[in-house]
Structure 1
Amino acid sequence: MHPWIAERTASFDSSGIRRVFDLAAKLKDPINLSIGQPDFDVPDEIKDATIEAIRSGRNAYSPTQGIAPLRDAVLAEVNEKYPGQDRDVFISSGTSGGLVLSMLSMVNPGDEVIFLDPYFVMYPALVRLCGGVPVMVDSYPDFRLDPEKIEAAITPKTKMVLVNSPANPTGVTATEADLKAVAAIAAKHNVALLSDEIYSRFFYDGDFYSPASDNPDAIVIDGFSKSHAMTGWRVGYVHGPREVIATMLKIQQYSFVCSPQPAQWGALRAMEVSMKANVDEYRKKRDYLVEQLSPHYELTSPGGAFYLFPKAPGNEGGAAFVERAISQGLLIIPGNIFSQKDSHFRISFAASDETLRRGAELLIKLAKA
Structure 2
Amino acid sequence: MEYETPLFFRVMKYAADADRDVIDVVSGNPDWEPPAALRNGLREYADLEPDAFQYAPSVGLTELREEIATRRGVDVEQVIITNGTGEANYLAMARALERDRGDEILLTDPVYPYYPGKTTMLGGRQTFVATDADGQLDPAAVREAASEETAAIVVNSPNNPTGAIYPAETIRKLVAIAEEHDALLVSDEVYDHFDLEGRFASALEVESAHRIVTNGFSKSMAITGVRVGYAIFPHDLVENARSRHMLVNVSTTRPGQYAVLNALRETEPAYYERNRDLLRERVETFTDALDAVGAEYTTPQGAFYVMARFDGFPGTLENTYRLIDEAGVAGMPGEVFGESRREWLRFALVTPRIEEAAERLATYFG
Q: Same fold (TM over 0.5)?
A: yes
8 Å Cα contact 2:104-2:124 kept in structure 1: yes
Alignment match of 1:49 (pick from 36, 41, 46): 41
Partner of 2:4: 13
8 Å Cα contact 1:33-1:330 kept in structure 2: yes
Tell me the CA shift for residue 356 of structure 1.
Answer: 1.3
Tell me the CA shift for residue 86 of structure 1.
Answer: 9.1
Tell me the CA shift for residue 215 of structure 1.
Answer: 4.1
Please list, as runs of the form range in 1=range in 2, the aligned pairs for 1:81-160 lying within 5 A after superposition: 88-108=78-98, 111-160=103-152
What are the Cα deviations for residues 41-77 of structure 1, in whole angstroms up to 9, with x where unaligned?
A: 3233211212212320321111011111111111111
TM-score (ref. length: structure 1): 0.90
Alignment match of 1:227 (pick from 214, 220, 223): 220
Alignment match of 1:243 (pick from 236, 251, 257): 236
Partner of 2:276: 279
TM-score (ref. length: structure 2): 0.91
Partner of 1:308: 306
Tell me the CA shift for residue 285 of structure 1.
Answer: 1.3
Q: Number of residue pairs matched?
A: 352
Equivalent position SS for 1:90: strand
Q: Cα gap change, 1:242/1:340 in structure 2, threshold over 3 Å: closer, same or farther?
A: same
Equivalent position SS for 2:194: coil
Equivalent position SS for 2:106: strand
Alignment match of 1:297 (pick from 288, 295, 298): 295
8 Å Cα contact 1:225-1:234 kept in structure 2: yes
1:135 & 1:126 partners in 2: Cα distance?
Answer: 13
Asked if residue 78 in structure 1 is aligned to residue 69 in structure 2, the reply is no
Equivalent position SS for 1:198: coil
Partner of 1:26: 17
Which 10-residue stretch deviates more, 20-29 or 143-152?
Answer: 20-29
**Which amino acid letter does the alignment assign opposite residue 257 of structure 1?**
V
Partner of 2:344: 344
What are the Cα deviations for residues 160-205 of structure 1, in whole angstroms up to 9, with x where unaligned?
A: 0011001111111112222222122222222101000000001100
1:291 & 1:281 partners in 2: Cα distance?
Answer: 16
Taking every aligned residue pair, what percent have the same amino acid on both sides?
29
Tell me the CA shift for residue 90 of structure 1.
Answer: 1.5
2:135 & 2:365 partners in 1: Cα distance?
Answer: 22
2:223 & 2:349 partners in 1: Cα distance?
Answer: 17
Tell me the CA shift for residue 259 of structure 1.
Answer: 1.2
Which 10-residue stretch deviates more, 245-254 or 281-290?
Answer: 281-290
Partner of 2:27: 35
Tell me the CA shift for residue 292 of structure 1.
Answer: 2.8
Partner of 2:315: 318
**Which amino acid letter does the alignment assign opposite residue 23 of structure 1?**
Y
8 Å Cα contact 1:95-1:222 kept in structure 2: yes
**Displacement over 4 Å in runs of 4+:** none
Q: Cα gap change, 1:87/1:212 in structure 2, threshold over 3 Å: closer, same or farther?
A: farther
Partner of 1:67: 61
Partner of 2:182: 190
8 Å Cα contact 1:183-1:215 kept in structure 2: no
1:260 & 1:41 partners in 2: Cα distance?
Answer: 20
**Which amino acid letter does the alignment assign opposite residue 261 of structure 2?**
L
Partner of 1:255: 248
More helix by share: 2
8 Å Cα contact 1:47-1:266 kept in structure 2: yes
1:254 & 1:35 partners in 2: Cα distance?
Answer: 29
Equivalent position SS for 1:194: strand
1:138 & 1:75 partners in 2: Cα distance?
Answer: 34
